[in-house]
Structure 1
Amino acid sequence: MNRGRKMRRHARKMRGYGLQPMVVINHDERLPDLAAVVIARALWRYRSELAPLHILGTLAIGGTVLHATRPGWWPYILGAAMATAWALGAFGDRLGLTSRGERLYAATVTVTVGTWLAAATAYGITAWHLPHALALGGLVLAVPWWAHRRRRARVRVDRQLAAWPEIAQAVGLAGSRVQSAVVDVWGWRARLALARGQTLAEVTAKIPAIESALGTHRGAVRVHPTRDDRADRFELRVLTTDPHADAIAWPGPSVETIAEPIDLGPFEDATAARVLLLRRHALIGGIAGSGKSGGINVLMGNLSACRDVVIWAIDLKRGMELRPWARCIDRLATTPDQARVLLRDAVAVLEARAAWLAGRGRRTWEPTPDMPALVIVIDEYAELADDAPETIGDTDSIARRGRAVAVTLVAATQRPTQKAMGKGAVRSQMDVRMSFRVRERRDVDLILGQGMLATGWHAHALNAPGKFLITAPEHDTPRRGRAYLLTDATVAETADRHANNRPGLDLVSRTAVEEAHAGLHLQPVSTRTAPKEAAGVGTRDEAEDDPESTLWDMLTGAPVEGTPVAHLVNGTGMSRPWIYQRLRALADADRVIQVSRGRWRATGEHSQ
C-alpha cells in the first residue's frame, strides 16, 4: 500500500514537470492477482445490489453441506425459520423495519428461505425442482429489494460518506471523519468528528461548499451540535425531501394551562417546536407574507384553550388580524387611544400584583383560573410605536417587571429596528424570538439577536410561508420549523368553542384597573364589540350604577326571547368572560335561563 502511494506521488511530480509517467509491469507481479483485487472491490462496492445473489449462493452451498452431513436437521431448520418470521413480523420495528410492508417482506423471505433449505437438507439440492425454485424464487424476491427506496438511499449515502475524506479536503475540513450515519424518511444524517482545532462555526460557514461537494440542492444541508454538545463533534443532516414543502394543518390546542409549553409546529425531524411562555416575553418577526400572522394564530389558538390566561390584544389595523379571536380576547384595542389605556391598565395590574405578592411574602404569581396570567398580544408593534410613542414607556415597564407577576408581552412586527422597538429594554427582554422569513441578512440579528446570522441562523434563506427559526432557553440551535396552518374556518370554530370558558381578571387586577380608570376619568376600553351607540343600546352613567345591578336590570327587563350577550356587554361595559361568569352563577341559582344560543333573561318569578 505504501509503495502504491509513493508511485502515485512520483507520477504527479512527473506530470508537474511536463513528463508523462511510464507504466512498468514488474515480472514478480501476477496479472491474475490484480484482476482478483478489481473483482473483490467491485463485489464490495456493489454488495447491496448483489445481496440476493450472495444469499442464493450461500443457500446452495449450505443445502449441499447439510444434506451430506446433517440430513435429519430439516425439521429444526423449518421450525427456526417459522419462529424467526413470526418475530420479524411482531417485533421488526425494533430492528429498523418501520413499515408494515418491510416486516411482511422480511417474514416472507425468511419463510421461503427456511422452507427451501429444509427441503434441500432432507433431499439434496438436485431433487425435484429445487434448483429451478431457487433461481425463480430468488429472482422474484430480489425485485422488491432492488426497488426499495430506502435501501437505494442507504447505498447512495454509504458511497457519499465513503468519499468524505476527499470532500473534507475539498471544503477545508481535512482530518474530519464520519462516525455513524442513519437514513430516515426525509434524507439522512451523520455524526462526524472534527480534526483538532476545527470548530462548529467553521463547519457552519462551509455549508454552501458542503452542499456543492455532496451534490445536493441549495438549502438541503443542516449542521447541528451533537446531543452531548461536544466541541469536536457535529451532526450533518441532508434533506432529500423537504418535510415542510406543504402546509401542515393545526391538530388543535396542545396545552390547557400556560404552565405547559406550546406546540408551534414540527421541526424537520418531526419533533415538536414547543416553547414555554409563562414568565417570558416573545418577539415574532418576519416580512409581509412570511407566515407571521399564522404564527400568531397558533399562539392564540393555544392561549384561548388555557383556563388560566386572560388575553388582551392591540391591533391598530382596526382589528383586521385579531378580531376573529374577539370572543376569546378580554380586551381588544384597535385605536391608539384604546392602546394607551390598555397598556396603562396593564402597568396598573402588574404593580397591584407586585404589591399583593409583597404583602404576603411571595415572589411569583402562580396562574390559576381564579388568578390567571395576563398575556398582551401586540400585532405590528412598529405601528404602535409610531402612532402612540408615549406607550413605549409602558411596554418597557411590562417587559422589565412583568415576569414575576405573570404579565407577558408578545410583540409581532415586520422589522424590529431600534426605532420600531423604542430606545428602552423591550427587545432585550424578549426571551423567546421567533423569526419567519426576512428580506435582508442583517434583519436576522435584529430579530434573533446580535451575532446569530454568523452562527447559522439563516432566516433570510427560509423559502416558504410559515417556516421559522426559534431561539429560546430550550432552543439554542438553528432548527427550521413550520408553523401550523389555521384556516379562517378553524379560527372561527376554535374561538366559538372556547369563548364560554374564558376567565376574567382576578379581584386584585380588576380593582387596580377600576382605580386607574377612576383616577384618569376614562371609560373602559371597548371589548370585542362595536361602540355602544353603534349597537343601539343605551349607555349609562357608571357613577350611578355598578355592573352587577345593571346586568340584573337588563335581565329582568329582557323580552321573552331574551337579551343577546353582546347587549349585556355593551350595557355593563364589562368583558364577555365577566358576563358569562355572572350568568353561570345566576343560572346555578335558578335566577336566569338561556332562552337560545347567546340570549338570556331572568326566570319567570324575577322578570318584569
Structure 2
Amino acid sequence: MTETDPLARPNPWPGHDHPATITKPIAIGVSEDGTAVTVLLLRRHVLIGGVVGAGKSGLVNTILAGLIPADDVTVWGVDLKGGMELGPWAQSLGRLATTPDDALTLFTAAWEELNRRTREQAQRGERTWNPTRERPALAILVDEFAELPPEALDIADSLARLGRAVAVTLIAATQRPTQDATGNGAIRSQMDVRIALRVRERADTDLILGAGAYKSGWRTDAFTLPGVFLILDPDHTTPTPHRAYLLDDDTVADITSRYPTPPALPARSDGPHTDHNPDPNSALWTALTATPDGASVPDLVTATGRSRRWVYYALQQLQEAGKVRQAAPGRWHATPHRP
C-alpha cells in the first residue's frame, strides 16, 4: 500500500457532524476511496466477526462512540472478559454485565423490557417504536458473543426475532463465528448488518457474511491491517474494504465524562407521576422489602414514579453493592442490610 491509500493508516474518530441520534447512520470508518462509511443501527441487528488482532475492539469502540452521545438510545453492554473491553465505557452504559450470571440477568431484563414495549405499543395503537429522549431505543452490545451462557443465548435469539419493531438492537461481536457460537444459525439469520474483519479460514467469511459470500468476492482472509473490514447490509452491497476509525483512551475518557449514565432520571412521561413519596430511593427500598417474594420492575416503576431506565440503573447499583438480589426472573428482593 502507498502512503496515499486511505486505508494505510488508521484515521482518528472525527466526532459527530450532527446531533447524535440512533435514527441516523453513524460513521464507523473510512472507505478505500477516502469517504466515510456509515451504518444505520435502528431496527437492525449487527454481527461482527474477526480473529484476534483483527481490530474487533476498535470497531466496537467506534460504534459505542456513535451511540453513547445520543439521548434517544440506552446502551447496555456484556463483556465476559471481566469488563476488560467495555470497562472504559462503564459509566456511560445503562447496564454492564461482566459474568455469565450477570449476562443472564441483563438478557432477562431485556426480554422483560421488550414485552413491556410490546404491550405499550398495543395500548397506543402503534406498530413501531419511534425513539425519543423519553422513549429511547435499546442497544445491547455483546463483546465475545460466543461466551454467552446457553440461557442468555436463547433469550438473545428471541430479542433478535422480535426486537426490531420496538427498537431493540442486538450487536454481537465474536472472534469465533462458528455455528454453535451464533445459535446454530438461528441468531445469525436475523442479523441485518454483517461486518467481517480478517479471518483465518475462507469458511469463516461465509459464517459471518452468509453462504456463498467468499465465492462472490467477499474475502477478508487476506487482510493484514487491523481494523480493515467488509460490511454487508441493505446499504452496502459490494465488497469494498473499509478501515475503522481509531479511538484512543483519552477520547474514550472524554466521551464517557461528557455522557455519563445519570444516577437519577426524570420522572416517567408515559404515566402519572407518584408524588406521594418525594424520595424515589426510599420508595424503591420500601417496595423491595414490602413482601417476601420481592417486587417486579413494573411494581418498582409504579412505586418510585421513575422510568424503567432509572429503576434498572438503581437495581444495578444496589446489586453491585450486594444489597439486592434477583429472587426470580423479573423479581428483585433486598438483602437483609439496608443501603
**Which TM-score applies when normalising by structure 2?**
0.79
* Distance 1:464-1:424 versus aligned 2 partners, 3 A rule: closer
- Report the Cα distance in structure 2 between the residues aligned to 1:426 and 1:477, rounded to whole angstroms: 23
The AA in structure 2 aligned to 1:483 is: A
* Distance 1:461-1:513 versus aligned 2 partners, 3 A rule: farther
Matches within 5 A, 1:38-57: none
Matched, 1:531 2:292: no
Matches within 5 A, 1:79-98: none
- Larger RCO: 1 or 2 (CA < 8 Å, sep 6+): 2
- Report the Cα distance in structure 2 between the residues aligned to 1:247 and 1:306, rounded to whole angstroms: 25
Residue 258 of structure 1: aligned partner:
22
The AA in structure 1 aligned to 2:164 is: R
Matched, 1:452 2:184: no
Deviation at 1:503, TM superposition (A): 9.3
Q: Secondary structure at the match of 2:147?
A: helix
* Distance 1:495-1:302 versus aligned 2 partners, 3 A rule: same
- Report the Cα distance in structure 2 between the residues aligned to 1:382 and 1:353, rounded to whole angstroms: 28
Q: Which has the larger radius of gyration?
A: 1
- Report the Cα distance in structure 1 between the residues aligned to 2:186 and 2:95, rounded to whole angstroms: 25
- Report the Cα distance in structure 2 between the residues aligned to 1:408 and 1:504, rounded to whole angstroms: 22
- Give 2:51's match in structure 1, choosing from 269, 284, 287: 287
Does the 8 Å CA contact 1:469/1:481 hold for their aligned counterparts? yes
Does the 8 Å CA contact 2:58/2:247 hold for their aligned counterparts? yes
- Report the Cα distance in structure 1 between the residues aligned to 2:270 and 2:157, rounded to whole angstroms: 22
Residue 155 of structure 2: aligned partner:
394
Q: Secondary structure at the match of 2:182?
A: coil
Residue 514 of structure 1: aligned partner:
297
* Distance 1:528-1:276 versus aligned 2 partners, 3 A rule: farther
Matched, 1:407 2:173: no
- Report the Cα distance in structure 2 between the residues aligned to 1:408 and 1:443, rounded to whole angstroms: 24
- Report the Cα distance in structure 1 between the residues aligned to 2:123 and 2:200, rounded to whole angstroms: 50
- Report the Cα distance in structure 1 between the residues aligned to 2:152 and 2:261, rounded to whole angstroms: 31
Q: Residue deviations 1:128-157, cap 9 Å, x none?
A: xxxxxxxxxxxxxxxxxxxxxxxxxxxxxx
* Distance 1:513-1:261 versus aligned 2 partners, 3 A rule: farther
- Give 2:191's match in structure 1, choosing from 405, 427, 430: 430
Q: Secondary structure at the match of 2:41?
A: coil
* Distance 1:282-1:316 versus aligned 2 partners, 3 A rule: same
- Report the Cα distance in structure 2 between the residues aligned to 1:259 and 1:363, rounded to whole angstroms: 17
Matched, 1:242 2:242: no
Does the 8 Å CA contact 1:392/1:424 hold for their aligned counterparts? no
Does the 8 Å CA contact 1:348/1:513 hold for their aligned counterparts? no
* Distance 1:441-1:370 versus aligned 2 partners, 3 A rule: same
Residue 374 of structure 1: aligned partner:
138
The AA in structure 2 aligned to 1:290 is: A
- Give 1:355's match in structure 2, choosing from 101, 104, 119: 119
* Distance 1:463-1:504 versus aligned 2 partners, 3 A rule: farther
- Give 2:80's match in structure 1, choosing from 308, 311, 316: 316
The AA in structure 1 aligned to 2:114 is: L
- Give 2:245's match in structure 1, choosing from 472, 484, 502: 484
Does the 8 Å CA contact 1:349/1:513 hold for their aligned counterparts? no
Q: Secondary structure at the match of 1:454?
A: coil
- Report the Cα distance in structure 1 between the residues aligned to 2:138 and 2:32, rounded to whole angstroms: 32
* Distance 1:371-1:504 versus aligned 2 partners, 3 A rule: farther
Matches within 5 A, 1:320-359: 320-359=84-123
Residue 420 of structure 1: aligned partner:
181
The AA in structure 1 aligned to 2:13 is: W
Q: Residue deviations 1:388-446, cap 9 Å, x none?
A: 11122200100000000001000000121111111362100000011111111111101
Does the 8 Å CA contact 2:229/2:241 hold for their aligned counterparts? yes
Q: Secondary structure at the match of 1:453?
A: coil
Q: Residue deviations 1:235-273, cap 9 Å, x none?
A: xxxx89532111211111355110010111110111211
The AA in structure 2 aligned to 1:423 is: N
Q: Residue deviations 1:44-98, cap 9 Å, x none?
A: xxxxxxxxxxxxxxxxxxxxxxxxxxxxxxxxxxxxxxxxxxxxxxxxxxxxxxx
Residue 306 of structure 2: aligned partner:
none
Residue 274 of structure 1: aligned partner:
38
Residue 225 of structure 1: aligned partner:
none
Deviation at 1:490, TM superposition (A): 1.1
Does the 8 Å CA contact 1:415/1:446 hold for their aligned counterparts? no
Structure 1, unaligned stretches of length 5 or more? 1-219, 221-238, 534-538, 544-570, 573-608
The AA in structure 2 aligned to 1:268 is: E
- Report the Cα distance in structure 2 between the residues aligned to 1:516 and 1:445, rounded to whole angstroms: 46
- Report the Cα distance in structure 2 between the residues aligned to 1:250 and 1:270, rounded to whole angstroms: 14
* Distance 1:371-1:285 versus aligned 2 partners, 3 A rule: same
- Report the Cα distance in structure 1 between the residues aligned to 2:111 and 2:49, rounded to whole angstroms: 24
- Report the Cα distance in structure 1 between the residues aligned to 2:167 and 2:200, rounded to whole angstroms: 34
* Distance 1:541-1:461 versus aligned 2 partners, 3 A rule: closer
Matches within 5 A, 1:3-18: none
- Report the Cα distance in structure 1 between the residues aligned to 2:12 and 2:263, rounded to whole angstroms: 24
Residue 285 of structure 2: aligned partner:
none
- Report the Cα distance in structure 1 between the residues aligned to 2:89 and 2:185, rounded to whole angstroms: 30
Does the 8 Å CA contact 2:75/2:95 hold for their aligned counterparts? yes
Q: Residue deviations 1:268-307, cap 9 Å, x none?
A: 1112111100000001111111110000000101111101
- Report the Cα distance in structure 1 between the residues aligned to 2:261 and 2:101, rounded to whole angstroms: 28
Normalized per residue, the structure richer in helix is 1
- Report the Cα distance in structure 2 between the residues aligned to 1:502 and 1:462, rounded to whole angstroms: 43
Structure 2, unaligned stretches of length 5 or more? 272-294, 302-310, 328-337
- Give 1:306's match in structure 2, choosing from 52, 70, 74: 70
* Distance 1:381-1:346 versus aligned 2 partners, 3 A rule: same
Does the 8 Å CA contact 1:312/1:374 hold for their aligned counterparts? yes
* Distance 1:333-1:513 versus aligned 2 partners, 3 A rule: farther
* Distance 1:529-1:333 versus aligned 2 partners, 3 A rule: farther
The AA in structure 2 aligned to 1:304 is: I
Deviation at 1:359, TM superposition (A): 1.8
